[in-house]
Every structure is written in C-alpha cells, then in structure tokens.
Amino acid sequence: MGNLNKEIRDGDHPDITEERLKSTFDTHKMAAQIYNSQRAADRRNEITSAVLKIPELQDIKPLPFLSREEKVEEAARKIGILSEHLYDLVNVNDGAELYHLNNVVIGGEGNPLALHGVMFIPVLQAQATDEQKKKWLYRAMKREIIGTYAQTEMGHGSNLRKLETTATYDKATEEFVLNSPTTTSMKWWPGNLGKSTNYAVVVATLIINEKDYGPHSFMVQLRDENTHKPLPNIEVGDIGPKMAYNATDNGFLKLNHLRIPRTNMLMKHVKVEKDGTYIKPPHAKMSYSAMVHVRAHMNNTMAYFLASSLTIAVRYSSIRRQGHINPKEPEVKVLEYQTQQHRLFPHIARAYAFSFAGAETVRLYEKVKKDMESGETELMADLHALTSGLKSVVTYLTMQGIEQARQSCGGHGYSMASYISEIYGIAIGGCTYEGENMVMLLQLARYLMKAAKAVKEGKKVEGLVGYLSAPDNRHSLIDRTPEKSYDTYLKTFEHIARQQIFRAFDKLEKMLTSGLPHSEAWNKCSVELTRASRLHTRLFIAQAFARRVHDVVDFHIKEALDDLLHLHLNYELLDVASYALEDGHLCGEQMNFIRSELYRSLGKIRPNAVSYVDAWELSDMELRSVLGRRDGHVYENLYKWAQNSSLNRTDVLPVFEKYLKPLMMSARKNSKL
Ligand SMILES: CC/C=C\C/C=C\C/C=C\C/C=C\CC/C=C/C(=O)SCCNC(=O)CCNC(=O)[C@H](O)C(C)(C)COP(=O)(O)OP(=O)(O)OC[C@H]1O[C@@H](n2cnc3c(N)ncnc32)[C@H](O)[C@@H]1OP(=O)(O)O
Ligand SMILES: Cc1cc2nc3c(=O)[nH]c(=O)nc-3n(C[C@H](O)[C@H](O)[C@H](O)COP(=O)(O)OP(=O)(O)OC[C@H]3O[C@@H](n4cnc5c(N)ncnc54)[C@H](O)[C@@H]3O)c2cc1C
C-alpha cells in the first residue's frame, strides 16, 4: 500500500514528511468528500498539472510585489492566454472546474471577467427572455462582450427600494430613460465596471406614468465594442484602491438621461408592454436572483479561503520549532502547543463544515432555480432565509479563522510572504457584499419570527424550522446517556436556537402589544433577532456536518471526519453555551465534560493535522505562500522571496542622499557644537 497522504515527496522537509507519514486516511479520498466526488477531486489535480505545463500561465513574480496597475494588467494578460487554452483545460460548462482554474492561474485578487462569470451571465440566464438570451447571453458566453452587475449606488446598497437611478418609461418612443439624478445615485462598487466591461445589467427604479414599481434590471451597453470608449451620456471609471482585491476594477457609473429600447429590460418574469402596462412577476423578488446565486455559492468560496489560510498555518506550524515542552528535549514544533492546536483545529473543522453545508445549499439553489424556470416559486423563501443566514455566519466565522491562522504564524504571518493578509482582505469583503451581514441576518429573522408565530398559534412547522415544533428536553442529555451520540449535541443546539427564537419573538410581541409601531419594535429587538438567526444557522451547519459524516461509507474517512465533527460540536457548543446555562439546560458538570472532550479532540486531531489540510489539495501555485509551501522549505525561500523587493535593487536608495544624509549630517553638526 502507498502512502495515505498523497503529498509525500523525496527532498521535502523531514518535519513535514514526519507529519504526513502519520496520516490515518487517504488524503485524495478525503478530497472527494470536500469536492463532492472523486471525479471532481481528480479533475482539480489534472487541471493544476496541465496549467503547470504552460509557462505563460505562471505568475511573472509574486503578486505582492506588483503595483495595482501591474496586478490589473497581469490578470488581463492571463485571461487572454487562458482563452486560448480554455477548452483544452476545463469543461467550460462546469462551474467548479472554471473556479479552480481561476484560483490556480489568477488567484483571488480578481480579473476582468470576475463579475462576468459570477453575476452577469447568471442574471441573463435567470431573467432574460429567449430572444434576449440570443442577443446577449450567447455572445457573453463566448466572451464577445464582457459585462457586470451594477446595482449598488454611492448612497444606497442595502435598501434596494431606495435606489435613486431611475428607468422612466417613455411610451411615445418605447424607450426607458436611465438617469442618475444626484451624486449619491451614481453606481458605486460593481466589480469590473470601472475599466474592463462594455455592458452591464443596471438595476434601476422603474417608473411608469410617475408610479414607482421598485428595482428592475436593464441591459445597458457602456462602451463602444471596438474602441472601448464610453458611449455618449455615460460616465464610467474606477473607484480606487481597496483593502484587497485590487486586481479588480470596482467602478462607478453615471447615466445622463440615457435612452435604451423597451426590450432592454430583462423580461423573462416581469413585463412592461408597449403601452406601458406593467405585468407583475410570479414572485416579487424574482429579480433578486443574481444575489441569491452568489450567496448560495459563498459557503464554498469561504470554506476555500479558510482552508487556504489553514493549510498555510498548519504546514508552517509543523516546521516551525520554537521553545520546549520538555526542557531536556530539542525545541518542539509549534504545532505541539495546545494553544496552537486550539487556535487552528476548530477552524479546520469549520472549513469542512462550511463545505458540507455549502453542498446542501447549492443543491437547494439548483432545485429552486429549476422551479423558477417554470414560474414555481414556493421554495424561494426557504432558500432566501437559508442563504441569508449562512452568508452572514460563514463569512464572519471565516474572518475569525483566517485571522487566527495569521496570528498563529507569528511575525512571518504578518509578511505578505504568508499571503494570509491578502486572503483575509478578499474573504472579509464577503461580510459586506451580497448583503451586509446584519441586514441579511435580519432577513432570516423575519422568516424565523413567522415560524415562531405559527408555532405559538398551535400550527406545525416543517423543513428548516421543523425543530421549533418538535419535542424538547428540559435538560440536555449530553453526558447523561450511556451511548455517545451526536444527537444529544444536536438536540442541545436545537434547544438553544429555539429558546433564543422565542425569546426574540416574545420581546417583539410585547412591544407590539404595548403599541409600538412594527418597525420601531423590530429595531429595538434587532440584536436579539440577529442572535436568533446566528444560532439557527449554526445549528444548520452542525446538522449538515453530521449528515455528511453519517453518509460516508469508507471506514477511515468516516473515522477522520467523525473526529473533526466531535471537535466541532464541542467547540461550537462551548462558544454558545451561555444560552444553555441561562435556563439550566446545561449544568456546570456537563460544561466540564464538554471542555474535556474538546481537549481530548485536539489530541486526537493532532497526528492528522497536516493531512486534514493537505486533503484540500491546494497546490503551491494557487496558495502563493512561502510559509504554506508543500515541501516545508520555508526559510531559504523566505530569503529568496525578499530579493523581489524593489527596495533591494540598489544598496543605497536615493532617499539617503535626499533626506537621511542631511538629517544625520545636521544632527552630527549640532552635537559637535
Ligand atoms: C459563484 C461565485 C461565488 C462567490 C464569489 C467568488 C469569489 C469572491 C471574491 C470576490 C468577490 C466577487 C464577487 C462579489 C460580487 C458582489 C456583488 C454584490 O454585492 S451585488 C449587490 C448585492 N446587494 C445586496 O445584496 C443588497 C442587499 N439588500 C437586499 O437584498 C434587499 O434590499 C433586502 C432583501 C434586504 C430587502 O429587500 P426588499 O425588497 O426591501 O424586501 P423586504 O425587506 O420588504 O422583504 C419583502 C419580502 O421579500 C422577501 N425577500 C427578499 N429578498 C428575497 C429573495 N431574494 N428571495 C425570496 N424572498 C425575498 C423578504 O424575506 C420579505 O419576505 P416576508 O415579507 O418576510 O415574507
Ligand atoms: C468587494 C466588494 C465587491 C462588491 N461588488 C459589487 C458588485 O459587483 N455589484 C454591486 O452592485 N455591488 C457590489 N458591492 C456593493 C455591496 O453589495 C454593498 O456595499 C453591500 O450590499 C452593503 O451595502 P451598503 O454599502 O449600502 O452598506 P450600508 O447599508 O450603508 O451599511 C452600513 C451599516 O448600516 C447597517 N444597516 C444598513 N441597513 C440596515 C438595516 N435595515 N438594519 C440594520 N442595520 C442596517 C449595516 O449593517 C452596516 O453596519 C461590492 C462591495 C464590496 C465591498
């Protein structure tokens, strides 16, 4: 039998090889769990190998040494080369293959086609009529035109009903007049809007006969297809550097009474007829589909960002030696410290959990998308609630995990050589885009409050909130039953979420009964409401993890995932235990049990730590991290990496003659006086 950890190679750092030799499971079989099939895991590696054979697709130098302009140019250069090889490298109809190709070749900092693939094409697929698809979608898929999704304005992002850009129907000419009447009405933020795209789906407030019909989607050509010059009545540009994600030209757009044909409104579900008659869609929020599309996929992208940071941190922690546990023995790998394990392992478990919850979410999303094709909208509310909660909780916990990974690398974690700070910057954008996290938690809370009301009225609720109608134990059975079952943990999570949902509900009802208007009462309860949403979502994540472990057949993989799940349940429960202590559902003795199970779990995970992160099969090319190198040879490569610094081109910088020398000279002169 070969090595179970598939990353072992001759010449690697002995400390990392030692870790890999301890693996109790086949890392490539584990990759099949993460990427949802063995075929998908195989394809990722095949794509990486093929890319490595194309010299023009390699980074010209480490990305942190590029200026913003160079980053934009480098991403565009690679997109050009990729287009030549695309059909040989991937199945272009497979989103996961395309996503992987992008991560390996270009990385997370963006590229001119980022929003084209992530939102422009999906919005056309979901909202364009067949005729409109012929006109734009097929051209977009062949990349004859490049588009983006332009919704957010300088003054409004969260509250779509107050978008100031107007699309006023002119019956006489059968046109819409698109206008940005104020500075704050300018589109501000859309990815690739600034310089790359020549088309955009613009979301504007529809006005017919002076009546406001709310946000609707319109196809707008921004630039000449040959010269790329902005068209008349259009002002467009880049919004400037950001915290990260700087290979992308997030942009602004001002429309000055721009006229577009009536048929440029995306009309698959909603219509404005020639005479201005408005025909409602089957569901009022069908036009929000592009946002739901991204939210549904964000769990997996966040899992990927988190796993990338942890791969870097865990590999580095296995070659970094510092300090002693036993003073008579050599310095230990920092991974031996319990604090280091506690800092990293629960986040490894979360990365797996997000990936499994993500797979379930994408399945529901695909079903709803198919239903919507035929006008069936029943599950839209469930999907909106689920994706709103997950989007918020997963991005927030990912942020925490990446930052812990950075700190766990000590000083070198702060260097861009770790690349963790860039991953952090990219990932935390997710707390804001596709709906600011608090705003989206409050969307889920609306759904939860409706369910709570139904239960209070004696109705049975099912599906994602079914547990609100299920029997509850007054006291948790954790450590109170002979068999060790995850059910006792999941029931405790259910109890905690249920209690909080009803606590928020009762508070809201009390305020409403006292005569407070709904919106004011809602605001005064909103912290409690967001707590309810978080707890409900964390329950779902734990359940999704347990469902996946239950379904795994391979004994060794099941055992390894079981260890991670055990860690996850104990760690997460400790994190929210105050809710269960408050009403005596858990007692001090059970808390001690949970804590000791957590510490036991850390020890159980330790031998497989490197293998759990290796199983994500993230190549050096896509990690772009000196600390996270597969071979563990960090130190000599840190030194090589620093040679790229432009400050090292000369021994003496011009600033010496200009500023430092006069400063020192004058100081020396003064001290002689
Ligand atoms: C595939 C690739 C994946 C990931 C990216 C990869 C890599 C990441 C790297 C870099 C980044 C790349 C891309 C980022 C791109 C970012 C793009 C954007 O940010 S686009 C702009 C996004 N903007 C928002 O999300 C705005 C948030 N606001 C809203 O969505 C709405 O304003 C809000 C839902 C908050 C309110 O809407 P409103 O119309 O006012 O409704 P109201 O509150 O009154 O609710 C009425 C009723 O409708 C229900 N509802 C709302 N939305 C939906 C929906 N989508 N589906 C179903 N139902 C919905 C709502 O619950 C309520 O129901 P009830 O009355 O309670 O029954
Ligand atoms: C990297 C990145 C990429 C983006 N890409 C795109 C894109 O391609 N296309 C596009 O159209 N947009 C894009 N955006 C914009 C993004 O979608 C919005 O910034 C986001 O939806 C948040 O809206 P806002 O900026 O209006 O925040 P605000 O709503 O102004 O948020 C400010 C604060 O107010 C709070 N708040 C607001 N409303 C409420 C409420 N009702 N209840 C309680 N609290 C509230 C928020 O919680 C937050 O704390 C992008 C943004 C980023 C950062």
pLDDT one-digit tens code per residue, 15-41: 999 999 999 999 999 999 999 999 999
Q: pLDDT tens for residues 609-652?
A: 999 999 999 999 999 999 999 999 999 999 999 999 999 999 99
Q: pLDDT tens for residues 409-451?
A: 999 999 999 999 999 999 999 999 999 999 999 999 999 999 9
Question: Pocket residues for ligand 2 (CB within 6 Å)?
Answer: 115, 149-152, 156-158, 189-191, 245, 250, 429, 432-433, 435-436, 438-439, 442
Q: Which of 232, 253, 281 is the last residue of a domain?
A: 281
Cα 436 to ligand 2 centroid, rounded to whole Å: 5
Question: For residue 305, what are the CA distances in angstroms to 219, 399, 464, 557?
Answer: 32, 9, 27, 23
- The enclosing H or E element of 348 equals helix 338-373
* Binding annotation for FAD: 152, 191
Q: What is the pTM of this model?
A: 0.98
Q: What is the pLDDT of residue 535?
A: 98
378 is written with which tokens?
């029943």
User: CATH number for the domain including 184?
Assistant: 2.40.110.10
Which residue has the CA at smallest separation from atom 47 of ligand 1?
A: 285
Q: What is the pLDDT of residue 481?
A: 86
Q: Contact at 8 Å (CB) between 306 and 401? A: yes
Same domain, 264 and 305: no
Within 10 angstroms of residue 150's Cβ, the number of other Cβ atoms is 33
Same domain, 559 and 585: yes
669 in a domain, yes or no? no
What is the position in ligand 1's atom list of the atom closest to the CA of 293? 1
474 in a domain, yes or no? no
Same domain, 377 and 501: yes
The arithmetic mean of pLDDT across residues 574-582, rounded, is: 97
Banded model confidence at residue 127, pLDDT cuts 50, 70, 90: very high
Q: What is the pLDDT of residue 146?
A: 98
288 lines ligand 1 (CB under 6 A): yes
Q: Contact at 8 Å (CB) between 43 and 56? A: no
636 in a domain, yes or no? no
Same domain, 577 and 516: yes
359 in a domain, yes or no? yes
Cα 291 to ligand 1 centroid, rounded to whole Å: 5
- Domain encompassing residue 271: 147-281
Same domain, 342 and 241: no
Q: Which of 60, 86, 111 is the last residue of a domain?
A: 111
- Strand-pairing partners, residue 188, are 252
Within 10 angstroms of residue 434's Cβ, the number of other Cβ atoms is 24
- Give the ranges where 606-649 is alpha helix by DSSP (H): 609-614, 620-623, 635-642
Same domain, 267 and 296: no
439 lines ligand 1 (CB under 6 A): yes
Total structural domains within the chain:
3
Banded model confidence at residue 1, pLDDT cuts 50, 70, 90: low
Q: Which of 246, 281, 316 is the last residue of a domain?
A: 281
Cα 538 to ligand 2 centroid, rounded to whole Å: 23
Which residue has the CA at smallest separation from atom 5 of ligand 2?
A: 190
Same domain, 553 and 603: yes
384 lines ligand 1 (CB under 6 A): yes
436 in a domain, yes or no? yes
The residues near 246 (Cβ < 8 Å, ≥ 6 apart) are 68, 71, 72, 109, 110
* Binding annotation: 152, 191
Q: What is the pLDDT of residue 485?
A: 82
Per-residue pLDDT for 586 more than 70? yes
446 lines ligand 1 (CB under 6 A): yes
Same domain, 166 and 104: no
Question: For residue 450, what are the CA distances in angstroms to 40, 115, 233, 444, 459?
Answer: 39, 35, 46, 10, 11
User: Rg of the Cα trace of the chain?
Assistant: 27
Q: pLDDT tens for residues 167-184?
A: 999 999 999 999 999 999
Q: What is the pLDDT of residue 672?
A: 81
Q: pLDDT tens for residues 331-384?
A: 999 999 999 999 999 999 999 999 999 999 999 999 999 999 989 999 999 999
Q: What is the pLDDT of residue 32?
A: 98
Q: Which amino acid, one-letter code, is at 575?
A: D
Pairwise CA distance, residues 464 & 618, whole Å = 33
Per-residue pLDDT for 194 more than 70? yes
Q: Contact at 8 Å (CB) between 462 and 576? A: no
Pocket test for ligand 2, best of 123, 436, 525, 529 (most atoms within 8 A of CB): 436
Same domain, 264 and 349: no
Burial 438-458 (b: 16+ CB within 10 A, else e): bebbbbbbbbbbebbeebeee
Report helix, strand or coil for 187.
strand
Task: Clarify whether 366 is annotated catalytic.
Answer: no
Tokens 């995990």: give the residue.
Answer: 401
652 in a domain, yes or no? no
User: CATH number for the domain including 375?
Assistant: 1.20.140.10
Same domain, 343 and 241: no
What is the position in ligand 2's atom list of the atom closest to the CA of 193? 8
Which residue has the CA at smallest separation from atom 6 of ligand 1?
A: 301
Banded model confidence at residue 453, pLDDT cuts 50, 70, 90: very high
Same domain, 99 and 181: no
645 in a domain, yes or no? no
Pairwise CA distance, residues 465 & 361, whole Å = 15
Same domain, 97 and 193: no
Identify the active-site residue in 109, 434, 494, 597: 434
633 in a domain, yes or no? no
